[in-house]
């Protein structure tokens, strides 16, 4: 029985469902205070390459927190190639937090595809539950939504708190300023779900060129905290999928996806 179960896990890893894509908000490499700033919304698995352009006007929520702590809303600025565009004006230097929330969507995955997704996205406890209940041969009826966030540093100095929670349903919150770190350091983070620390969450990180698989994963402790290695300067993202089982009329499972993207100096 154990041998068959392990073989099944390996097999399922090779058939990850194509819909299981992250949503990233990508800050521009060079930004200036007093000028419009574009943030790209990209969808895919090979960070940061996008497979299609989401429409920012269809996002359920768009959020901007400025260096003064005041909240606003970035403008939906259409599309450019395979990227959706968000735009805001940084009136002063400092750190800006940009986040969005997508509209929930329903999907039904065939049994093998759903099982593969559970294992690949760090949800083996859900897989084990289906195995225990003898439902591995049943499709997965799921509702999902995504909550990406980006940190944008404008100029040098200025205010802004990169460690401030944005109030997204699921989010990764830095516990240190990522822009003060160097390669070789580690970034402590806390995962919040509905405003409370989320323990045993499978947090991964990626750099451009890592391909479809995260460079590494770590589990959060009972305080929802984990340490993410900073390997090199430039763009990087931290990602997480969390799943619950509401057993609603139209779906049995509900998943929540989040990413935190920034540029290491």
Write out pLDDT tens, residues 194-241. Answer: 999 999 999 999 999 999 888 999 999 999 999 999 999 999 999 999
**In the chain, what is the greatest distance between 2 CA atoms, to the nearest angstrom?**
64
Does residue 118 form part of some domain?
no
104-114 per-position pLDDT tens digit: 999 999 999 99
Find out whether 25 and 104 touch, Cβ atoms under 8 Å: no
Does residue 129 form part of some domain?
no
Q: How far apart are CA 80 and CA 38, in angstroms?
A: 11
Does residue 6 form part of some domain?
no
Distances (CA, A) of 107 to 84, 124, 141, 251, 255: 23, 20, 6, 8, 11
Residue 156's domain spans which residues?
22-107+136-264
Q: How far apart are CA 64 and CA 138, in angstroms?
A: 41
Does residue 240 form part of some domain?
yes
Q: How far apart are CA 7 and CA 14, in angstroms?
A: 11
Domain count, the chain: 1
Please give the DSSP secondary-structure letter assigned to residue 113: H
- Give me the DSSP letters along 148-211: EEEEEEESSS-B--TTS----SEEEEESS-GGG--BTBEEEEEEEETTEE-TT-EEEEE-TTST
Does residue 125 form part of some domain?
no
Does residue 9 form part of some domain?
no
Per-residue tens of pLDDT for the chain, all 265 residues: 444 433 333 333 333 444 469 999 999 988 989 899 999 999 999 999 999 999 999 999 999 999 999 999 999 999 999 999 999 999 899 999 999 999 999 999 999 999 999 998 889 999 999 999 999 999 999 999 999 999 999 998 889 999 999 999 999 999 999 999 999 999 999 999 999 999 999 999 999 999 988 899 999 999 999 999 999 999 999 999 999 999 999 999 999 999 999 999 9
Q: Which helix (H) or strand (E) holds 124?
A: helix 124-132
Does residue 189 form part of some domain?
yes
The model's pTM? 0.91
Does residue 71 form part of some domain?
yes
Find out whether 227 and 187 touch, Cβ atoms under 8 Å: yes
């Amino acid at each position: 029985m154990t041998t068959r179960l392990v073989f099944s896990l390996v097999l399922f890893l090779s058939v990850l469902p194509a819909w299981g894509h992250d949503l990233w908000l990508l800050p521009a490499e060079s930004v200036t205070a007093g000028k419009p700033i574009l943030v790209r919304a990209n969808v895919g698995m090979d960070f940061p390459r996008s497979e299609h352009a989401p429409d920012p006007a269809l996002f359920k929520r768009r959020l901007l927190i400025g260096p003064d702590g005041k909240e606003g809303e970035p403008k939906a600025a259409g599309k450019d190639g395979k990227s959706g565009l968000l735009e805001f004006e940084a009136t002063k230097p400092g750190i800006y937090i940009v986040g969005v929330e997508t509209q929930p969507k329903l999907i039904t995955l065939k049994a093998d595809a759903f099982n593969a997704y559970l294992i690949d996205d760090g949800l083996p406890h859900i897989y084990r539950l289906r195995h225990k209940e003898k439902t591995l041969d049943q499709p997965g009826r799921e509702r999902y939504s995504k909550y990406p966030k980006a940190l944008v540093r404008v100029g040098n100095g200025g205010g802004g708190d990169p460690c401030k929670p944005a109030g997204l349903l699921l989010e990764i919150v830095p516990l240190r300023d990522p822009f003060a770190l160097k390669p070789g350091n580690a970034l402590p983070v806390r995962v919040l779900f509905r405003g409370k620390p989320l323990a045993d969450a499978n947090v991964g990180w990626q750099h451009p060129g890592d391909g479809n698989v995260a460079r590494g994963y770590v589990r959060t402790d009972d305080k929802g905290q984990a340490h993410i290695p900073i390997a090199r300067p430039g763009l990087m993202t931290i990602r997480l999928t969390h799943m619950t089982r509401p057993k609603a009329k139209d779906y049995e499972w509900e998943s929540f996806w989040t990413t935190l993207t920034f540029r290491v100096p």
